[in-house]
Amino acid sequence: MSIEALVENPSSPAESTSPASAPYDPTEFDASVMGTYGRFPIALERGKGCHVWDTEGQQYLDFVAGIATCTLGHAHPALVEAVTKQIQTLHHVSNLYYIPQQGELAKWIIDHSCADRVFFCNSGAEANEGAIKLARKYSHKVLEIEKPVILTAKASFHGRTLATITATGQPKYHKNFDPLVPGFQYIPYNDIEALENAIADLDEGNQRVGAIIMEPLQGEGGVRPGELEYFLKLRKMCDDTGILLILDEVQVGVGRTGKYWGYEHLGIEPDVFTSAKGLAGGIPIGALMCKKFCDIFEPGEHASTFGGNPFACAAALAVNQTLEQENLLHNVQQRGEQLRTRLRAIALKYPDIFVEVRGWGLINGMELNADIDLTAVDVVKAAMAERLLLVPAGPKVVRFVPPLIVSAEEVDEAAQILERAVEKFAL
């Protein structure tokens, strides 16, 4: 079945039309829910393909996809069928027992990556937390480092737990959460000299680098792709020293970049890597993958109550099998090229506003001129007023992460809407 056949005309399906209702009143919501998010003033209630509708019946073209999470868009028939069947059969049991869906998903990941072993959890932060624990144990038991240090990149993002927020190389996320977890140091991204110096400076006494955690492409840090030369050098340095190389694929994995994993763009294989967001198309799941030589956790050292339950694994299997069966990686590559071409044309038309377009596949960013007052949030709000959903990637980068089923017509529509929104700032 073609992509076009899977995504019905979003303006007409019967299940997606309803009379407009009164504007959503967030008063009770705000009185009950912790204010940990700066929310935009719309309430979404349903979706189909690459479109969502709010409680007032307004239709939006969704180029956020749950922040690179709704791999197959909304209400995709393969995902609907999988979760319906599984919830009617067995949705959760303890990992004290064998879970066939978990084993099948682990094998699928191994067959489509460099991994030999998989551990399942519920989120990207948990997957990265597990990678940090694995790196600590490996450093102590295998590398015999008394005080191991993990290097991470400046402008990185690895999660919201205390350890992963420490691993995140952005001071704004650290504020008010001291004392942070010891054992992390930060280096500039794509900077070979800084990497070499950091490893050399820490090679003394009982403190050494035990692991390095990097994103193949920095998502929250501004949609900044990794450079081939840098990652080839990084891999060689880890091979020469025994340092574990961990790649955070939470945002870029599962086809988002036009390849199944981000590391495939960089000519290397990691020792350990993590996944979450797009793995089950919006059903919560995370995964920690590793090569056999560093699979050193023993029973009781790491666990997850909900991790790898039948429901989440059935959803992830449906998503991944659909990616393969429908050849969606090809669509990601084609639509990514189309989107970057359209965005670059807009950037050339408004050179005082935009300075660069960059990305891989269907994770792309437009960087705003640092010398103007306009922010990414300003552009996102203007696009939202025109019924296009976008998301910032830092204060000066607008991010485009539509579902991987997005059509050529929808990419063109998004570019047209963006240009209408941007015109207002150029007047």
| Whole-number pLDDT of residue 119 | 98
Q: Is 177 a catalytic residue?
A: no
pLDDT mean across residues, the chain? 94
Query: 259-305 pLDDT, tens per residue?
Result: 999 999 999 999 999 999 999 999 999 999 999 999 999 999 999 99
| Whole-number pLDDT of residue 10 | 40
Catalytic residue among 54, 62, 248, 271: 248
Q: Which of 325, 352, 386 is the last residue of a domain?
A: 325
Report pTM. Answer: 0.93
Q: Looking at residue 248, which CATH number applies to its domain?
A: 3.40.640.10
Residue 150 β-bridge partners: 184, 211
Catalytic residue among 277, 297, 396, 400: 277
Q: Which of 296, 325, 354 is the last residue of a domain?
A: 325
334/402 same-domain check: yes
| Whole-number pLDDT of residue 427 | 64
Q: Which of 271, 304, 325 is the last residue of a domain?
A: 325
Residue 402 · residue 66 · CB < 8 Å: no
Domain extent, residue 284, equals: 81-325
| Whole-number pLDDT of residue 12 | 37
Distance from C-alpha of 217 to C-alpha of 150, rounded to nearest angstrom: 19
| Whole-number pLDDT of residue 206 | 81
| Whole-number pLDDT of residue 426 | 84
User: Domains in the chain: how many in total?
Assistant: 2
**Does residue 26 come out as left (phi exceeding 0), alpha (psi in the -120 to 50 range) or beta?**
alpha
The one-letter amino acid code at 12 reads: S
List, run by run, the mean pLDDT of 10-residue segments along the chain (427 residues). 36 42 86 94 97 97 98 98 98 98 98 98 98 98 96 98 98 96 97 95 86 98 98 97 98 98 98 98 98 97 97 98 97 98 98 97 98 97 98 97 98 98 88
DSSP assignment string, 161-217: SHHHHHHSB-HHHHTT-PSPPSSEEEE-TT-HHHHHHHHHHT-BTTEEEEEEEE-SE
Residue 217 · residue 226 · CB < 8 Å: yes
Q: Is 378 a catalytic residue?
A: no
- Tell me if 212 is assigned to some domain: yes
155/245 same-domain check: yes
Query: 200-230 pLDDT, tens per residue?
Result: 999 777 889 999 999 999 999 999 999 999 9
| Whole-number pLDDT of residue 1 | 34
Residue 389 · residue 401 · CB < 8 Å: no
Catalytic residue among 119, 120, 157, 184: 157
Q: Is 248 a catalytic residue?
A: yes
